[in-house]
Amino acid sequence: SQQGEEDPQALSIQEGENATMNCSYKTSINNLQWYRQNSGRGLVHLILIRSNEREKHSGRLRVTLDTSKKSSSLLITASRAADTASYFCATLPGEGAQKLVFGQGTRLTINP
Amino acid sequence: DAGITQSPRHKVTETGTPVTLRCHQTENHRYMYWYRQDPGHGLRLIHYSYGVKDTDKGEVSDGYSVSRSKTEDFLLTLESATSSQTSVYFCATGGGTQNIQYFGAGTRLSVL
Protein backbone atom coordinates (compact mmCIF):
# COMPACT_ATOMS: atom_id res chain seq x y z
CA SER A 1 0.00 0.00 0.00
CA GLN A 2 1.12 3.53 -0.63
CA GLN A 3 2.25 5.33 2.50
CA GLY A 4 2.51 8.72 0.87
CA GLU A 5 -0.43 10.44 -0.71
CA GLU A 6 0.35 13.53 -2.69
CA ASP A 7 -1.75 16.53 -3.44
CA PRO A 8 -2.43 17.83 -5.95
CA GLN A 9 -1.98 15.09 -8.55
CA ALA A 10 -1.25 17.74 -11.16
CA LEU A 11 -0.25 21.40 -10.93
CA SER A 12 0.20 23.93 -13.72
CA ILE A 13 1.63 27.38 -13.01
CA GLN A 14 3.36 30.24 -14.80
CA GLU A 15 7.11 30.56 -14.86
CA GLY A 16 8.31 32.65 -11.93
CA GLU A 17 5.48 31.61 -9.62
CA ASN A 18 5.95 29.40 -6.59
CA ALA A 19 4.82 25.77 -6.60
CA THR A 20 3.66 23.93 -3.51
CA MET A 21 3.11 20.19 -3.30
CA ASN A 22 1.88 18.27 -0.30
CA CYS A 23 2.45 14.75 0.97
CA SER A 24 0.61 12.90 3.71
CA TYR A 25 1.64 9.60 5.23
CA LYS A 26 0.17 7.09 7.62
CA THR A 27 2.77 5.65 9.98
CA SER A 28 5.69 7.01 11.95
CA ILE A 29 8.80 7.74 9.93
CA ASN A 30 12.55 8.05 10.26
CA ASN A 31 12.81 10.50 7.39
CA LEU A 32 10.90 11.83 4.40
CA GLN A 33 12.49 12.43 1.02
CA TRP A 34 11.48 14.22 -2.14
CA TYR A 35 12.47 13.03 -5.60
CA ARG A 36 12.05 14.52 -9.06
CA GLN A 37 11.41 12.56 -12.23
CA ASN A 38 11.80 14.14 -15.64
CA SER A 39 9.85 12.56 -18.46
CA GLY A 40 11.38 9.25 -19.54
CA ARG A 41 14.05 9.31 -16.85
CA GLY A 42 14.71 7.78 -13.45
CA LEU A 43 14.03 9.48 -10.15
CA VAL A 44 16.57 11.90 -8.72
CA HIS A 45 16.87 12.64 -5.02
CA LEU A 46 16.21 16.29 -4.13
CA ILE A 47 16.11 16.70 -0.39
CA LEU A 48 15.71 14.73 2.83
CA ILE A 49 14.16 15.86 6.10
CA ARG A 50 14.53 13.88 9.30
CA SER A 51 11.64 13.21 11.64
CA ASN A 52 13.07 15.59 14.26
CA GLU A 53 13.38 18.46 11.76
CA ARG A 54 10.61 20.89 10.87
CA GLU A 55 12.04 22.73 7.90
CA LYS A 56 14.88 22.32 5.45
CA HIS A 57 16.16 24.43 2.57
CA SER A 58 18.19 23.62 -0.51
CA GLY A 59 18.54 26.32 -3.12
CA ARG A 60 15.02 27.15 -4.34
CA LEU A 61 13.54 24.21 -2.46
CA ARG A 62 11.93 24.43 0.93
CA VAL A 63 10.56 21.36 2.69
CA THR A 64 8.48 21.34 5.84
CA LEU A 65 7.49 18.41 7.99
CA ASP A 66 4.67 18.22 10.51
CA THR A 67 4.86 14.86 12.25
CA SER A 68 1.75 15.58 14.33
CA LYS A 69 -0.27 15.84 11.11
CA LYS A 70 1.84 13.28 9.28
CA SER A 71 2.34 15.64 6.40
CA SER A 72 5.06 17.39 4.44
CA SER A 73 5.17 20.08 1.81
CA LEU A 74 7.65 20.92 -0.92
CA LEU A 75 7.87 24.51 -2.07
CA ILE A 76 9.72 25.44 -5.24
CA THR A 77 10.25 29.18 -5.44
CA ALA A 78 10.65 31.24 -8.61
CA SER A 79 9.79 28.29 -10.84
CA ARG A 80 11.51 27.72 -14.17
CA ALA A 81 10.53 25.75 -17.24
CA ALA A 82 13.21 23.20 -16.29
CA ASP A 83 11.28 22.43 -13.09
CA THR A 84 8.60 20.73 -15.19
CA ALA A 85 8.63 17.15 -13.89
CA SER A 86 6.88 14.76 -11.54
CA TYR A 87 7.68 15.04 -7.86
CA PHE A 88 7.43 12.15 -5.43
CA CYS A 89 7.62 11.99 -1.68
CA ALA A 90 9.05 8.87 -0.09
CA THR A 91 9.05 7.86 3.54
CA LEU A 92 11.49 5.68 5.44
CA PRO A 93 9.32 4.05 8.09
CA GLY A 94 11.40 3.69 11.20
CA GLU A 95 15.07 3.55 12.05
CA GLY A 96 16.85 0.66 10.39
CA ALA A 97 14.18 0.27 7.74
CA GLN A 98 15.62 -0.21 4.29
CA LYS A 99 12.54 0.15 2.14
CA LEU A 100 11.24 3.51 1.01
CA VAL A 101 7.53 3.89 0.41
CA PHE A 102 6.70 6.23 -2.44
CA GLY A 103 3.65 8.36 -3.05
CA GLN A 104 1.91 8.56 -6.40
CA GLY A 105 3.50 11.85 -7.29
CA THR A 106 2.53 15.34 -8.40
CA ARG A 107 2.90 16.26 -12.05
CA LEU A 108 4.18 19.87 -12.20
CA THR A 109 4.02 21.87 -15.41
CA ILE A 110 5.67 25.28 -15.66
CA ASN A 111 4.24 27.39 -18.46
CA PRO A 112 6.50 29.98 -20.12
CA ASP B 1 21.29 7.77 -13.65
CA ALA B 2 25.01 7.95 -13.00
CA GLY B 3 26.52 4.65 -11.93
CA ILE B 4 23.44 2.51 -12.61
CA THR B 5 22.82 0.87 -15.95
CA GLN B 6 19.65 -0.97 -16.84
CA SER B 7 19.38 -3.27 -19.82
CA PRO B 8 17.54 -3.53 -22.05
CA ARG B 9 15.98 -0.05 -22.09
CA HIS B 10 13.00 -1.24 -24.11
CA LYS B 11 11.57 -4.67 -24.66
CA VAL B 12 8.50 -6.09 -26.33
CA THR B 13 7.66 -9.68 -25.60
CA GLU B 14 4.77 -12.11 -25.84
CA THR B 15 2.62 -13.49 -23.06
CA GLY B 16 4.11 -16.63 -21.53
CA THR B 17 7.72 -15.95 -22.43
CA PRO B 18 10.46 -15.53 -19.81
CA VAL B 19 12.07 -12.12 -19.50
CA THR B 20 15.16 -11.03 -17.59
CA LEU B 21 16.02 -7.43 -16.84
CA ARG B 22 19.49 -6.51 -15.69
CA CYS B 23 20.72 -3.81 -13.36
CA HIS B 24 24.41 -3.04 -13.05
CA GLN B 25 25.91 -0.58 -10.56
CA THR B 26 29.37 0.86 -10.17
CA GLU B 27 28.68 2.52 -6.80
CA ASN B 28 29.35 -0.55 -4.64
CA HIS B 29 26.09 0.05 -2.77
CA ARG B 30 24.98 -2.80 -0.57
CA TYR B 31 21.26 -2.45 -1.25
CA MET B 32 19.59 -2.79 -4.63
CA TYR B 33 15.92 -2.49 -5.48
CA TRP B 34 13.52 -3.25 -8.30
CA TYR B 35 10.40 -1.12 -8.68
CA ARG B 36 7.63 -0.94 -11.21
CA GLN B 37 5.94 2.30 -12.14
CA ASP B 38 2.38 2.39 -13.40
CA PRO B 39 -0.03 5.30 -13.88
CA GLY B 40 -1.98 5.93 -10.71
CA HIS B 41 0.25 3.73 -8.58
CA GLY B 42 3.51 5.59 -8.29
CA LEU B 43 6.49 3.34 -7.61
CA ARG B 44 5.89 -0.05 -6.09
CA LEU B 45 8.65 -2.24 -4.72
CA ILE B 46 8.97 -5.68 -6.31
CA HIS B 47 12.04 -7.16 -4.64
CA TYR B 48 15.17 -5.88 -3.01
CA SER B 49 18.59 -7.19 -2.07
CA TYR B 50 20.70 -6.42 0.98
CA GLY B 51 23.77 -8.30 -0.16
CA VAL B 52 25.06 -10.99 -2.46
CA LYS B 53 22.51 -13.83 -2.50
CA ASP B 54 20.39 -11.98 0.09
CA THR B 55 17.02 -10.90 -1.25
CA ASP B 56 13.54 -10.20 0.05
CA LYS B 57 10.09 -9.53 -1.32
CA GLY B 58 8.42 -6.18 -1.79
CA GLU B 59 4.74 -5.39 -2.02
CA VAL B 60 4.19 -6.68 -5.59
CA SER B 61 6.51 -9.69 -5.83
CA ASP B 62 4.10 -12.27 -7.30
CA GLY B 63 5.26 -13.41 -10.73
CA TYR B 64 8.78 -12.05 -10.26
CA SER B 65 12.05 -13.52 -9.04
CA VAL B 66 15.44 -11.94 -8.51
CA SER B 67 19.04 -12.97 -8.18
CA ARG B 68 22.20 -11.26 -7.03
CA SER B 69 25.38 -13.25 -7.57
CA LYS B 70 27.68 -10.21 -7.50
CA THR B 71 27.51 -6.91 -5.64
CA GLU B 72 27.21 -4.98 -8.87
CA ASP B 73 24.48 -6.99 -10.61
CA PHE B 74 20.82 -7.49 -9.73
CA LEU B 75 18.59 -9.43 -12.10
CA LEU B 76 14.81 -9.35 -12.27
CA THR B 77 13.11 -12.30 -13.98
CA LEU B 78 9.54 -12.66 -15.13
CA GLU B 79 9.23 -16.43 -15.40
CA SER B 80 6.17 -16.28 -17.66
CA ALA B 81 5.29 -12.75 -18.65
CA THR B 82 1.67 -11.59 -18.48
CA SER B 83 0.03 -8.48 -19.89
CA SER B 84 -0.38 -7.13 -16.35
CA GLN B 85 3.41 -6.93 -16.14
CA THR B 86 3.53 -4.33 -18.87
CA SER B 87 5.17 -1.46 -17.04
CA VAL B 88 8.27 0.65 -16.61
CA TYR B 89 10.80 -1.03 -14.34
CA PHE B 90 13.34 0.89 -12.33
CA CYS B 91 16.39 -0.34 -10.54
CA ALA B 92 17.77 1.63 -7.62
CA THR B 93 20.66 1.38 -5.22
CA GLY B 94 21.00 2.78 -1.75
CA GLY B 95 20.76 1.77 1.86
CA GLY B 96 22.47 3.13 4.92
CA THR B 97 20.93 4.98 7.79
CA GLN B 98 19.12 7.50 5.58
CA ASN B 99 18.50 5.23 2.59
CA ILE B 100 18.79 7.84 -0.13
CA GLN B 101 18.25 5.93 -3.36
CA TYR B 102 19.80 6.35 -6.79
CA PHE B 103 17.84 5.26 -9.82
CA GLY B 104 18.61 3.88 -13.22
CA ALA B 105 16.96 5.21 -16.35
CA GLY B 106 14.33 2.48 -16.44
CA THR B 107 13.25 -0.34 -18.74
CA ARG B 108 9.99 -0.06 -20.61
CA LEU B 109 8.49 -3.53 -20.97
CA SER B 110 5.49 -4.34 -23.11
CA VAL B 111 3.90 -7.79 -22.88
CA LEU B 112 1.58 -8.47 -25.81
DSSP A42: -
The CATH number assigned to the domain holding A38 equals 2.60.40.10
Percent of chain B with pLDDT over 70: 98
Q: Which range of residues forms the domain containing residue B48?
A: 4-111
Write the CATH number for B105: 2.60.40.10
pLDDT tens string A1-28: 345 688 899 999 999 999 999 999 998 9
B106 vs A42, A90, A102: nearest CB: A42
Kindly tell me if the per-residue pLDDT of B27 is higher than 50: yes
Rounded Cα–Cα distance for residues B67 and B72 (Å): 11
- Name residue B107's amino acid: T
Q: State the average pLDDT for chain B.
A: 94
| Angle formed at CA A80 by CA A78 and CA A86, multiple of 5 degrees | 105
CA distance B37 to B26: 24
Enumerate the residues of chain A whose CB falls inside 8 A of the CB of residue B4.
42
Count how many domains chain B has. Answer: 1
Beta carbons of B42 and B55 less than 8 angstroms apart? no
Task: Tell me the pairing of strands A71-76 and A19-24.
Answer: antiparallel
Query: d(Cα B20, Cα B80) in Å, to the nearest integer?
Result: 10
Chain A residue with CA closest to B1: the answer is A42
> How far is the alpha carbon of A7 from chain B, nearest alpha carbon, in Å?
13
